[in-house]
Amino acid sequence: MQLAKGVEWGLHCCLALAWLGDAEPVPTAKLAAVFDLPQPYLNKRLQALVRAGVLSSSPGARGGFRLGRPPEQITLMDVVAAIEGPDDAFRCTEIRQQGAGFGTDAPEFAQPCGIAAAMRKAELAWRRELAAQTLADLMATTPPASADRVRRFYARLGTVAG
């Protein structure tokens, strides 16, 4: 399974917003500059996080993004689901009922196949693990130098318009 780059970008932006605090909304341009990301693509990911309630946004020249909830209430799964969508990674299409299984009324088709069951079990474990970790947990395990570097870089951007 491979997640879209937007998941990593969304998580890093959420972490940066947590480090920057609630003082003022952070414009997309400045978040994009902090990580050297393309602004239009990043903005789409940030809007998805707003729709999910992970972030809040305010319009206008002084507008931008803030965390929508405290870091303790934002899970990694919240960010993944906001950007990737709620669908499972594995989608069983019942191919066992095609080819050799086509047209049969085999009793085993009444139950999910072993492959679908194993994939669902793995999916649930993955989702549980992501749901058990919060943005606050990331903050606690990230070296303080990372937070300081983002704060210093953002402060330098304050002198730049936009």
Residue-wise pLDDT for 65-103, tens only, equals 999 999 999 999 999 999 998 887 778 777 666 666 666
Taking Cα atoms as reference points, which of 2, 1, 3 lies closest to residue 84?
Answer: 3
Domain positions in the chain are: 5-157
Instruction: Give the relative orientation of helices 76-84 and 114-131 as an angle to the nearest 10 degrees.
Output: 120
In this prediction the pTM is: 0.84
Q: Classify domain 5-157 at the CATH topology level.
A: Arc Repressor Mutant, subunit A (1.10.10)
